[in-house]
Amino acid sequence: MAKAFSEFRPLDETSLIDYIKSVPSLCSRLHNNLNGLEIKEVGDGNLNFVFIVVGSSGSFVIKQALTYVRSIGEAWPMSKDRAYFEAAALKKHGHLCPGHVPEVYHFDHTMSLIAMRYLKAPHIILRKGLVAGIEYPLLADDMSDYMSKTLFYTSLIYNSTTEHKQGVAEFCGNVEMCRLTEQVVFSDPYKISEYNRWTSPYLDSDAAALREDEALKIEVAELKSLFCERAQALIHGDLHTSSVMVTQESTQVIDSEFAFYGPMGFDVGAFLGNLILAFFAQDGHADEENDREAYKGWILRTIENTWNLFQNKFIALWDQHKDGSGEAYLPAIYNSSEIQQLVQKKFMQDLFHDTLGFGAAKMIRRIVGVAHVEDFEAISDASKRAGCERRALQLAKLLLKERRKFQNIAQVVSAIKQGK
């Protein structure tokens, strides 16, 4: 049976059962009871098959990487090695933050396949909850937990250079995913590209203006260089609101196939930028029953709390481990609480500005680039949708160009409110 899967082949509901039978650890996860397995393919992403496997005595999810971008077809080939890096990042981040990362049960390099914990109902994709107007009281606390732990513990503040460069070298192999991000986030929105689309004709002139905005394009070049060159921590690499599954009691981060050693602000910015998109989409979801004003307030509080909690937790980890084996800030040099606070303040200020820049770039690409977000797509009235998108776009351009003028997240929230 094992021989049948000695070469890569895409699985379907039928061959998946044969596959499971050939892997003892998966069988035992089902207590060897494979009768009446329910298998459902639910991949709504672009890059993978995702099978939910539920038996009478156990369950898991099987995610298999495909060799092309599913929504575009075989014209856009993708390395299936990304499954290796997704599994590696899930394991590493899961070790650092087990409460918010699903456990990996099994990884098969040949088949580009990961078996992991099935996040049962009522878990839904956070973005769908945001479109539906559902508040998640733990979200800011949980996501700040996830980001502070995964980023701090994979940085040089915590690790030796030797450990760090080992990780950097390994994840250099995930270069195809990095190149995809470079293209869709930092390049395509600022040039004519066959993949770009926007709410036309309403945003035609807005999209054209981006391509002519010299100040913006100069800042985008700097962010792109940071993304390509700065190995600051093992980042998730695609931390938008569809990479998070939630219930009222649980927050789980999935889909880390873009993981590599990059700038921390790319993760924090992705999450906050997508919350800002959710905010600007709310007017398009408002109706006579619900004007969404209260919900917009919750989103803004969540943005503010996420950053402030992240900052506090990151610094708390730093203080906790300041005499550890991290090599960036030796205690013999940063040897008083005064200078410790000064370097921490500078670090967080720089990270804050990176976060705003990357977050804004992620917003822009969701409005004029290849991949759009359900937040806006769910607004059926194109004119109304374009209005929401334009306000988000204006705010994103401001954040990207003027990010260094913002001192704290409260000022960003004020700017979002003014852009309403």
Residue type for 353, please?
Answer: H
Residue (of 148, 164, 10) closest to 83 by Cα position: 10
Beta-carbon contacts of residue 11 (< 8 Å; ≥ 6 apart): 19, 49, 51, 62, 64, 111, 113
Q: Which of residues 38-67 bind a second copy (CB under 8 A)?
A: none
Please identify, among the stretches 145-153, 172-180, 278-286, 382-390, the one whose residues bind a second copy according to the rule CB under 8 A.
172-180
If one asks whether residue 178 binds a second copy (CB under 8 A), the answer comes out as yes
Cα separation of 199 and 101, whole Å? Answer: 35
Among 141, 182, 374, 402, binds a second copy (CB under 8 A): 182
CA 343 to chain centre: 28
What part of residues 355-384 is at the interface with a second copy (CB under 8 A)?
A: none
Site string for a second copy, 127-166 (x = CB under 8 A): -----------------------------x---xxx-xxx
Nearest distance from residue 195's CB to a second copy, in Å? 13
Type of residue numbered 91? K
Q: Which residue, 50 or 175, has its beta carbon nearer to a second copy?
A: 175
Residues linked to residue 116 through DSSP beta bridges, in sequence order: 61, 104
8 Å CB contact between 253 and 239:
yes
> Out of 56, 225, 411, 414, which residue is the one contacting a second copy (CB under 8 A)?
225
**Residue range at the interface with a second copy (CB under 8 A); choices 136-144, 146-154, 177-185, 389-397:** 177-185
For the bound state, the minimum distance from the C-beta of residue 192 to a second copy, rounded and expressed in Å, comes to: 7
Using rule CB under 8 A, residue 194 touches a second copy: no
335 binds a second copy, rule: CB under 8 A:
yes
CA distance 99 to 109: 26
- Tokens 């596959």 identify what position? 19
- Residue 22: other Cβ atoms inside 10 A: 15
| The one segment of 38-46, 95-103, 169-177, 307-315 that binds a second copy by CB under 8 A | 169-177
Residues 6 or more apart from 71 whose CB is under 8 A from it? Answer: 46
CA distance 83 to 85: 5
CB of 49 to a second copy, least distance (A): 26
Considering the complex, what minimum distance in angstroms separates the CB of residue 234 from a second copy? 12
Q: Which amino acid is at 117?
A: R
Question: Is residue 342 a contact point for a second copy (CB under 8 A)?
Answer: yes
Of residues 95, 191, 404, 405, which one binds a second copy by CB under 8 A? 191
Q: Name the amino acid, one letter, at 320.
A: Q
Q: What is the DSSP string of 150-179?
A: HHHTTSTTTS-HHHHHHHHHHHGGGHHHHH
Question: Closer CB to a second copy, residue 27 or residue 343?
Answer: 343
Q: In the complex, which residues of this chain contact a second copy (CB under 8 A)?
A: 156, 160-162, 164-166, 168-170, 172-173, 175-176, 178-179, 182, 187, 190-192, 211, 214, 217-218, 220-222, 224-225, 228-232, 327-330, 332-335, 338-339, 342-343, 346
